[in-house]
Amino acid sequence: MRITVGSRQSRLAVRQAQIVMEELEKYHPEAEVSLVTMKTTGDRILHKTLDQIGGKGLFIKELDLALQEGRIDLAVHSLKDMPMEVPEDFPVLACTRREDPRDVLVLRKGLERLEKDSVIGCSSLRRKLQLGSLYPEAEIRNIRGNVLTRLEKLDAGEYDALVLAAAGLIRLGLEERISRFFSVEEILPSAGQGIMAVQGSPSMREVTACVNDREAALAAGAERAFVRELEGGCSSPVAAFAQVEGDTCRLRGLYYDEGSGGYSIGEKTFYIEENDPAQGARMGRELAHELRDRYTEKR
């Protein structure tokens, strides 16, 4: 059996694909697993923000085409970078065990702390919204590029600090660059942050079952349903984080009102039903409706 895995060309994307490939090789020793990398449209256009060039779909456009043409059997993505709508012919087959989901602060080399007029590199509207209350006097400036490119810009003096996902730095072995972890109460993570998604034809579902983590899949379903219900994407700061604790799951979500620029954060805890795979998504939709209705009533 041959399995061709596709990923973006960045060092982080390749490392993530390798993690999945190692699991496939472990559970399918007879398989010949190979990697194909490609530069996506989102990787090439770095002078504009994502909402200006078409959103998160530009990071998977070329990989989707490779799946359709049969050049790869599976594609590995950071789940947080995937659009909320995924082609039925090539669904998410597996969600990997979640790495640390938190956002972190990375200071420029040689800098020990942030001053009041510091410049923080960040392009995510979700992060910008929540950073405003943590660093009200700082300048939040857009930055694009993969993790290593952003770190180069930081250390070159273009910024005083960056806000990045902990998971990416950990997978790259760059934990020492982390200056501060933000709790999920301080900065609510992006839906799916820390989880890798394996996408492919439904015929590959049994092959990829060894990669799937039950808790991560449940959390991903709830988080993505919350964001999808509110029609959130790269141009909206909607956020969600679900944490499984024993037989319960606590889902926390951020609803943003575009008209007023205000937002509301709430949560919902539910007992996990073993034989109800759609439960997480249903809870995500319910919380989205509750927060939207609650915010509407306040106005």
Contact 196, 20 (CB under 8 A): yes
Q: Six-digit token pair at 35?
A: 């990697």
**Amino acid identity, position 84:** M
Count other C-beta atoms under 10 Å from residue 61's C-beta: 14
Q: What is the DSSP letter of 82?
A: S
**Helix or strand or coil: residue 248?**
strand
Contact 167, 101 (CB under 8 A): yes
Comparing CA positions, the residue from 163, 189, 192 lying closest to residue 178 is 163
Q: Tokens 């919350």 — which residue?
A: 226
Could you give the CA distance from residue 4 to residue 293 in angstroms, rounded to a whole number?
Answer: 46
Q: Tokens 């015929």 — which residue?
A: 203
Contacting residues for 31 by C-beta, under 8 A, at least 6 apart: 1, 2, 3, 24, 25
- List, by residue number, the catalytic residues: 81
Phi, psi of 192 (to 5 degrees): 85, 0
**Helix or strand or coil: residue 189?**
coil
**Helix or strand or coil: residue 140?**
strand
Q: Six-digit token pair at 135?
A: 């660093």
Count other C-beta atoms under 10 Å from residue 124's C-beta: 24
Outline where 143-278 has alpha helix (H).
147-153, 166-171, 205-208, 214-229
HEC sequence for 227-252: HHHCCCCCCCCCEEEEEEECCEEEEE
